[in-house]
Chain A
Amino acid sequence: MIARSNQAEPFAVENLVVAYRAEPVLWNVTWSARAGAMSAIVGPNGAGKSTLLNAAVGLVPIVSGRATFWGETFKDARHRIAYVPQRESIDWDFPITAAQVVEMGITHGAAWLVPDFLPRWSRRLLGKGTARAESKTHGALERVGMADFARRPIGELSGGQQQRVFLARALAQEAELYLLDEPFAGVDVATEEILTSELRALARAGKTVVAVHHDLEDVADRFDDVAVLHRELVASGPAKATLTEATIVRAFRQPRAPLALDSTAHG
């Protein structure tokens, strides 16, 4: 797997500027994730942490700058990346089972057009990948301890269980880069442990993990590297060394200076 990757970083942003309407949310951010490491993106609310990931995977338009994956654009590298969106962007009342969620990570090409409510034998005739997909789904759910819940609607699971199902979907994608938006938000202790150990296992296997994280207290325990965002990149590097008192004060306590855009606009 690692051999396939070329020398460039698995995930890098250069001079990234992203705006929500007329308000810049990310300002000139340049940062890259270390291959085979677990990196956390931290910062206060509204610092643009999630925006960084969303812009990188093409969900939010980039005003200026770029995001690259092993030196390629997201489109070209898409098949090597697993993305886990933020909890808030999902309608958890949607009638879909845990197994069906995980299958979204495996289904490819024409398989999307094969309805799966038909009897099993007829699906076998339609696509020979079905059995393999089923075992993959089962395996992924098993890794996060959710195999018993495969046929349960996602809305009937707890917040932590839902997050585990989303991780299972990412695992089933068998990617080389994992981008997770607030995976630890609002989950129980058991889920926290499963998430940490599974992500750690990925990193040990040479995969790269980048997660938006909200809790400063446990960053250093869970992650190798950290990037501190406060619309601009405040600091980045190994977690323990970077999260100094001064950095935290700069990112979390200081009011954000307004960008003097209008004065330069007419200049």
Chain B
Amino acid sequence: MIGPASTDGTLARWFEVLTLSGGYNTNVVLFGVALLGLAAGAVGSFAMLKKQSLVADAFAHASLVGVAVAFLVQAWFHSWSGSPEAALAGAARPGPERNMVVLLVGAGIAGAAAVAAIEFLVRKTRLRADTATAAVSSASFGAGIATLSIARRVSGADQAGLDSLIFGAASSMTRADAYAMAALALIAALFTAVLFKPLRAVAFNDRFARTSGLPVNAIDIALGALVAAVTLAGMQAVGMLLVVALLITPCATARLWTRAVGPLVATSAALGATCGVLGVSLSRVLPSVPTGAVVVLIAAAAFVVSALFAPERGLLAGLRRERRMRAAVLVALRAPGDPGVNSGGAER
């Protein structure tokens, strides 16, 4: 993928980007995605502790139908106020910011409807959470694909807004987007810091939290809203198909290193931000690599390394412990003075 000849130049350029000398636009994207990673890492750990990470995935998949419908509604409004030709042209360029806000509102509504549908299926029927999540997420994504095919025909060639939400377009991030990410990260940080104890209680045992007088429903809704906000913000950066990785992977990695909730949230947020910085900077210096996928893959690399080498919960540590135990068993059983045992136990 990278020509060996250009390796030196690439490294120098990478260093440049990492030290914030990569130009204004690059810095905006760098900060934006790093703050997004921070927020996602913090919020995502509570979603994971509540075993609701995949609900965020359903939210993201279902938002496609909302995005496509919002796009069509927009086009329809324009056709209402002008000639059909103006309608097609209008759908194509109503100004990128306004366009994006409408699409995100549509995405939010559709995503929330999907989460409500999952909740309905789990509470009112005998279906289990995983079945309900997979069914709602995939069926609404199908509806999204079908609606999208109409939107594509209406809009003709230009559909930058649509594609940037589906596949992510971190590089087109504007200063306003970066401010939005900063606000989101601030809210997420404040939320987790101020409500840390109640959140921990709800995540661990919400029945107990309820009996001890905590407003569990309000906390649940607030957490859900934050997860939704992070998901919507992340869709612009890494795309709706991959955004859930920002919510899951850093937290799963952090969980391999720590058990306590406080360090878990902190580690996860730090990991999210780091992966954002590394991913954006790498995608800036390597030719034609998609930013979202690189961010996700770097987070995944951290996870794989941790899953193998983490001191207590890692795969290798577990295998070593098991081998040592087996050896110890054999030694202990052969030890003189242990009643009734000599060589018998060890032969198999």
* A and B interact physically: yes
Asked if B341 CB lies within 8 Å of chain A CBs, one says: yes
Asked if B327 CB lies within 8 Å of chain A CBs, one says: yes
Expressed in whole angstroms, the Cα–Cα distance for A19 and B335 within the complex equals 19
Asked if A267 CB lies within 8 Å of chain B CBs, one says: yes
What mask results when residues 305 to 348 of chain B are scored 1 for a CB within 8 Å of chain A, else 0?
00000000000001001101111111111010010110011101
Q: Is the CB of A30 within 8 A of B340?
A: yes
Q: Is the CB of A21 within 8 A of B322?
A: yes
Q: Is the CB of B341 within 8 A of A63?
A: no
Q: Is the CB of B318 within 8 A of A28?
A: no
Sort chain B's interface into a size bin: 20 to 34
Q: Is the interface of B mostly helix, strand, loop or mixed?
A: helix
Asked if A150 CB lies within 8 Å of chain B CBs, one says: no
Expressed in whole angstroms, the Cα–Cα distance for A28 and B335 within the complex equals 12
User: Are A65 and B332 CB-contacts (below 8 A) given A15-B341, A22-B325?
Assistant: no
Q: Chain B residues near A14 (CB, 8 Å)?
A: 344-345
Residue of B nearest to A233 (CB): B340
Q: Is the CB of B340 within 8 A of A261?
A: no
Asked if A17 CB lies within 8 Å of chain B CBs, one says: yes
Asked if B126 CB lies within 8 Å of chain A CBs, one says: yes
What's the count of A-B pairs with C-beta under 8 Å?
A: 65
Expressed in whole angstroms, the Cα–Cα distance for A267 and B322 within the complex equals 17
- Taking a contact as CB atoms closer than 8 A, the residue among A30, A64, A265 that contacts B324 in the complex is A265
Q: Chain A residues near B329 (CB, 8 Å)?
A: 17, 19, 24, 63-64, 261
Q: Chain B residues near A66 (CB, 8 Å)?
A: 348
User: Are A267 and B318 CB-contacts (below 8 A) given A17-B345, A24-B325, A28-B345?
Assistant: no
User: Are A264 and B318 CB-contacts (below 8 A) given A28-B341, A63-B326?
Assistant: no
Q: Is the CB of B126 within 8 A of A262?
A: no
Q: Which of A17, A23, A93, A262 has the most CB of B within 10 A?
A: A17
User: Are A265 and B327 CB-contacts (below 8 A) given A22-B322, A28-B338, A30-B340?
Assistant: yes
Q: Is the CB of B333 within 8 A of A28?
A: yes
Q: Is the CB of B325 within 8 A of A15?
A: no
Q: Is the CB of A264 within 8 A of B321?
A: no
Q: Chain B residues near A28 (CB, 8 Å)?
A: 333, 338, 340-341, 345
Expressed in whole angstroms, the Cα–Cα distance for A25 and B132 within the complex equals 37
What mask results when residues 83 to 118 of chain B are scored 1 for a CB within 8 Å of chain A, else 0?
000000000000000000000000000000000000
Residue of A nearest to B332 (CB): A264
Q: Is the CB of B321 within 8 A of A267?
A: no
What is the number of residues of chain A that contact chain B, defined by CB distance less than 8 Å?
A: 22
Q: Chain A residues near B328 (CB, 8 Å)?
A: 261-262, 264-265
Expressed in whole angstroms, the Cα–Cα distance for A121 and B96 within the complex equals 71
Q: Is the CB of A65 within 8 A of B325?
A: no
What mask results when residues 253 to 265 of chain A are scored 1 for a CB within 8 Å of chain B, else 0?
0000001011011
Scan residues 15-37 of chain A and give those whose CB is less than 8 A from a CB of chain B.
15, 17, 19, 21-24, 28, 30
Q: Is the CB of A264 within 8 A of B331?
A: yes
Q: Is the CB of B331 within 8 A of A65?
A: no
Q: Is the CB of A261 within 8 A of B325?
A: yes
- Taking a contact as CB atoms closer than 8 A, the residue among A17, A21, A22, A267 that contacts B333 in the complex is A17
Would you give the shortest CB distance from A56 to chain B, in whole angstroms?
14
Q: Is the CB of A21 within 8 A of B321?
A: yes
What mask results when residues 223 to 267 of chain A are scored 1 for a CB within 8 Å of chain B, else 0?
000000000000000000000000000000000000101101101
Q: Is the CB of A15 within 8 A of B344?
A: yes
Expressed in whole angstroms, the Cα–Cα distance for A62 and B333 within the complex equals 14
Q: Is the CB of B338 within 8 A of A62?
A: no
Q: Chain A residues near B332 (CB, 8 Å)?
A: 259, 261, 264
Expressed in whole angstroms, the Cα–Cα distance for A17 and B324 within the complex equals 14
Would you give the shortest CB distance from A61 to chain B, in whole angstroms?
11
Residue of A nearest to B335 (CB): A264
Expressed in whole angstroms, the Cα–Cα distance for A264 and B321 within the complex equals 13
Expressed in whole angstroms, the Cα–Cα distance for A259 and B333 within the complex equals 12
Q: Chain A residues near B335 (CB, 8 Å)?
A: 264
Residue of B nearest to A62 (CB): B348
Q: Chain B residues near A265 (CB, 8 Å)?
A: 324-325, 327-328, 331
Expressed in whole angstroms, the Cα–Cα distance for A261 and B333 within the complex equals 11
User: Are A64 and B346 CB-contacts (below 8 A) given A19-B329, A22-B321, A265-B327?
Assistant: yes
Expressed in whole angstroms, the Cα–Cα distance for A93 and B131 within the complex equals 14
Q: Is the CB of B345 within 8 A of A19?
A: no
Would you give the shortest CB distance from B339 to chain A, in whole angstroms?
9
Would you give the shortest CB distance from B104 to chain A, in whole angstroms?
40
What mask results when residues 60 to 98 of chain A are scored 1 for a CB within 8 Å of chain B, else 0?
001111100000000000000000000000000100000
Residue of A nearest to B319 (CB): A22
Q: Chain B residues near A62 (CB, 8 Å)?
A: 348
User: Are A15 and B345 CB-contacts (below 8 A) given A21-B318, A64-B333?
Assistant: yes
Would you give the shortest CB distance from B110 to chain A, in whole angstroms?
31
Expressed in whole angstroms, the Cα–Cα distance for A21 and B320 within the complex equals 11
Residue of A nearest to B326 (CB): A63
Known pairs A14-B344, A21-B318, A262-B324 / 4 extra A-B pairs, C-beta < 8 Å: A15-B340, A65-B348, A259-B332, A261-B328
| Pairs across A and B, CB under 8 Å, 13 listed | A22-B321, A22-B322, A22-B324, A24-B325, A28-B340, A63-B325, A64-B346, A65-B344, A93-B126, A264-B328, A264-B335, A265-B324, A265-B331
Q: Which residues of B are at the interface with A, using a C-beta cutoff of 8 A?
A: 126, 318, 321-322, 324-333, 335, 338, 340-341, 344-346, 348
Enumerate the 10 nearest inter-chain pairs by beta-carbon distance, A residue then B residue, closest first. Answer: A15-B345, A22-B321, A261-B328, A265-B328, A22-B325, A65-B345, A265-B324, A64-B345, A264-B331, A22-B322
